[in-house]
Amino acid sequence: MENKLTKIRRTFAAQLTEKYKLKLIIPNNDASDSIFEGFINEMFNQLHKKRTKQDVELLKESNRNSPLFIQRKQLQKDIEDFQILNKRQDAHAVQQIIERVERRAMLNRKYDNREVKSISQLNTQCQSTIIPTVKMFTLSCSYRTLCSELIERFDWPSELFASEYDRCFCKTCYPLTMPNVYQSNIENKYPIIIPRNWMKFGLKIDEVQAKIHQIWDKWATSYHGTLPNAALSMIKHRQICLPGDKLLDGTHLTIRPGHIQDQKAFFTSPTVRYAAQNHYATPLEFTSQRDKYVYTAKIVLRCRQMPDSFTIQGETLNNSRINGADFCDIIPDEQIEWKTDKRGTVIFDGLCVRLTPVYNQTFHNTIYQSHANQTNVHN
Q: What is the CATH number of the domain that holds 309?
A: 3.90.228
Q: Express each pLDDT in 189-227 by its tens digit.
A: 788 899 999 999 999 988 888 888 888 888 999 999 988
**Per-residue model confidence (pLDDT) at position 195:** 95
Residues 214 and 109 in one domain: no
Q: Express each pLDDT in 315-346 by its tens digit.
A: 887 655 456 667 888 888 888 999 888 878 89
pLDDT band at 272 (very low <50, low <70, confident <90, very high): very high
Residue 134 vs residue 299, higher pLDDT:
299
In the beta sheet, which residues pair with residue 305?
Answer: 220, 346
Q: Report the relative pairing of strands 181-182 and 192-193 from DSSP bridges.
A: antiparallel
**Per-residue model confidence (pLDDT) at position 108:** 56
**Per-residue model confidence (pLDDT) at position 34:** 82
Q: Express each pLDDT in 125-180 by its tens digit.
A: 333 333 233 233 334 588 998 999 999 888 898 889 988 888 999 998 888 888 89
Query: Is residue 136, in this structure, part of any structural domain at all?
Result: no
**Per-residue model confidence (pLDDT) at position 111:** 34
Q: Express each pLDDT in 304-314 by its tens digit.
A: 999 889 999 98
**Per-residue model confidence (pLDDT) at position 264:** 66
- Residue 99 to residues 4, 80, 96, 114, 238, Cα–Cα distance (Å): 12, 16, 5, 22, 38
Residues 166 and 53 in one domain: no
Residues 102 and 33 in one domain: yes
Domain of residue 177 covers: 142-373
Query: Is residue 292, in this structure, part of any structural domain at all?
Result: yes
| Number of domains within the chain | 2
Measured over the CA atoms of residue 37, residue 38, residue 40 and residue 45, the dihedral's sign is positive
Q: Where are the beta strands (DSSP E) in 178-326?
A: 181-182, 192-193, 199-202, 220-226, 266-268, 284-287, 294-305, 311-313
Q: Give the range among 170-174, 234-238, 258-262 with minimum mean pLDDT.
A: 258-262
Residues 112 and 180 in one domain: no
> With pLDDT > 90 as the criterion, what percentage of the chain qualifies?
19
CA–CA dist 255, 263 (Å, integer)? 8
Query: Is residue 244, in this structure, part of any structural domain at all?
Result: yes
> Which of the given ranges, 52-66, 103-117, 268-282, 347-361, has the highest pLDDT on average?
268-282
Residues 182 and 91 in one domain: no
Residues 40 and 175 in one domain: no
CA–CA dist 58, 327 (Å, integer)? 27
pTM above 0.85, yes or no: no
Query: Is residue 128, in this structure, part of any structural domain at all?
Result: no
**Per-residue model confidence (pLDDT) at position 29:** 67
Residues 285 and 313 in one domain: yes
pLDDT band at 44 (very low <50, low <70, confident <90, very high): confident
Indicate the burial class of 157 (C-beta count within 10 angstroms; 0-12, 13-18, 19 or more).
Answer: exposed
Residues 264 and 294 in one domain: yes
